[in-house]
């Protein structure tokens, strides 16, 4: 698949897209959710206790705290 980038009305040269999913594809949301779970696991398992960046997450399948 070929793609172009448009910024300020100017188009780039076309280039080959080697990875990813098309916009609107059902797999896009699934892959993005899996990516966010992976990021959460890296933060949970990979950071030491002395890091001062607060990061709240949950892995129970619920998107919001209702």
In the prediction, which pLDDT does 50 show?
63
pLDDT tens track for 30-65: 888 888 888 888 777 776 666 566 666 667 766 665
In the prediction, which pLDDT does 38 show?
83
- Residue 26 predicted with pLDDT over 60: yes
Average pLDDT over residues 7-12: 92
Contacts of 22 (CB under 8 A, 6+ apart): 1, 28
- Residue 22 predicted with pLDDT over 90: no
């Amino acid at each position: 698949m070929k793609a172009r980038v448009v910024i300020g009305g100017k188009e780039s040269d076309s280039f080959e897209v080697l990875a990813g999913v098309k916009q609107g594809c059902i797999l896009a949301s699934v892959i993005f959710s899996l990516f966010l779970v992976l990021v959460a696991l890296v933060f949970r398992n990979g950071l030491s206790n002395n890091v001062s960046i607060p990061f709240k997450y949950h892995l129970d399948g619920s998107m919001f705290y209702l």
